Structure 1
Amino acid sequence: MKPIHTIEDVIINLDDIIAISKTKNDPLGYFAALYRRVTIRVKEGIEAGFFDDGARMELLDVVFAKRYIDAYFSYLRLEEVTDSWKIAFEVSQDYWPIVIQHLLVGINAHINLDLGIAAAEISKGKNINDLKGDFDKINEILSSLVIEVEKDLSEIWPTFRKILKLFGNVDNFLIDFSMELARDGAWEFAKELAMTSEETFDQRIIDRDQKIKEKAFIITNPGWTVRVILGIMRIAESGSVADKIQKLIA
């Protein structure tokens, strides 16, 4: 892991994770590839004046991304990580989850837990409500990219789109989860954490982590009907993990 001080540093570390994942044919590279797209979109947004405060957004992006990158390398070193990330990382060892599930379980840990922590940390001594607009824009970018990825996968594996048309409930399960990210309590958690005393700060994160861990099970164990359909999708996926990572980067 290389030092992280700027968005460029974030991209460099994501490139390292992607390279490692390609070499090992490790599905953990799926989220890294998506997150690279998110980071580039944020970088472009800062340069274009999309965010309310570009300098603050870069700080948020760095603090936010570092939580994921730290967790990834800690997991490789067999060190302790939050339960939310532990589940996301362990799913990579299972054959059956499809690409979108790998992405959503990572998004669950990163948005529902990490984003609130990062927002609270950069808002110490400030009014966190000033951050609300840019906080929502991060969710908008991520949600839009999840939808883009679904379209990309439909082009790569036509069977994916055919199955989604046959079973609309699966499509709703995937997209509704991502679209609800901005409304599922992540911002409320950020505000609560910002007002939490130093003595109870860590415990509040632990409590939140347990709740987010339960959300992860919705993605990894969505019920038998959906699991069977997703299993068919998984069998329909073609190419190596490295091939799929490369297609997600574009």
Structure 2
Amino acid sequence: MAANNIDEVVDGLAGIVRDSVRDADRAGYFAALYRQVTVEVRRGIHTGLFDDGPRMDRFDTLFGNRYFDAYDAWRRDRTGPRCWREAFGLLHDPDTIIVQHLMLGVNAHINLDLAISAADTSPGEAIHALKRDFLLINDILARAVLAVQGAVGSVSPYLWLLDKFGGRTDEQILDFSIRRSRQEAWDNALLLAGQSGARRERTIDLLDARAALLARLIARPGGLVRPAIQLIQSTENKDVSTVIEHLDRALDGPPSP
């Protein structure tokens, strides 16, 4: 699938969510989070939040299409960027918990796709004018992530163990990962905006390799996190379709019991 504007990105994500609910496909976990973030970005465009609404529409469309391309490549023949292959390859793994699926999608989309999309939107010196709008998305992401993580807690009641054993007692798990990664994505966007040809492709390949390594660390953490994940998994809601629908309503109001 290929989107021509942010409305089509939202529609495409909604379609993946619907298909995932129908097929009990864990791809719907990240798609539900991403759809809600995109809806909030679209609202920001319509309300004049960004300095340049049409530019943000182009940016979000390029960003969305990178996800759609990776999703389609995996469905077609198990190809695509390495970091996305790591994420999609765990969709049928019953030992991977809900928040890991979300973090794997966040990792691939932000640590690889975001910088490329920003540089494609505003190449060369034009990248500097994009910075304020780029960073404004942090606030949108923070709101969406807090809502979605609250929803995850409703279907994964022992999720708090990741904070306890992962050493992040004062930060939300997903919010921590996203904020740190987005700053790095901006630095990488500045780099890519000034590159072309083989040099640019080499940089993208290195970003993909790094994101793939991070994906493996997310999927198979060491130390006390591993037994914590096993306990979390044993208590999670195992009805994939129900979990997707629950996550997809996260921004509609407080999580249901």
TM-score norm. by structure 1 comes to 0.91
Per-residue deviation, 1:170: 6.1
Per-residue deviation, 1:93: 2.0
Instruction: Give the structure 2 partner of residue 82 of structure 1.
Output: 81
SS at match of 1:92: coil
Size of the alignment, in residue pairs? 247
After superposition, where does 1:14-163 map in structure 2 within 5 Å? 14-124=13-123, 126-161=125-160, 163=161
Runs of 4+, deviation exceeding 3 Å: 155-161, 163-168, 170-173
SS at match of 2:90: helix
Bigger shift: residues 38-47 or 141-150: 141-150
Distance in 1, matches of 2:90 and 2:168, equals 19
Distance in 2, matches of 1:153 and 1:247, equals 8
Contact 1:139 1:181 in 2 (8 A): no
Per-residue deviation, 1:188: 1.1
Instruction: Give the structure 2 partner of residue 211 of structure 1.
Output: 210
Q: Which amino acid aligns with 2:57?
A: E
**1:73-116: per-residue Cα shift (whole Å, max 9, x none)?**
11100152010111011121211111111011111110111010
Q: Which amino acid aligns with 1:241?
A: V
Contact 2:17 2:31 in 1 (8 A): yes
Per-residue deviation, 1:132: 0.9
SS at match of 1:95: coil
Bigger shift: residues 56-65 or 224-233: 224-233
Q: RMSD over aligned Cα, in angstroms? A: 2.0
Gaps of 5+ in 2: 250-257
SS at match of 1:12: helix
**1:168-193: per-residue Cα shift (whole Å, max 9, x none)?**
6366582432331233x211111111
Per-residue deviation, 1:199: 3.5
TM-score norm. by structure 2 comes to 0.88
Bigger shift: residues 151-160 or 200-209: 151-160
Q: Which amino acid aligns with 2:195?
A: T
SS at match of 1:180: helix
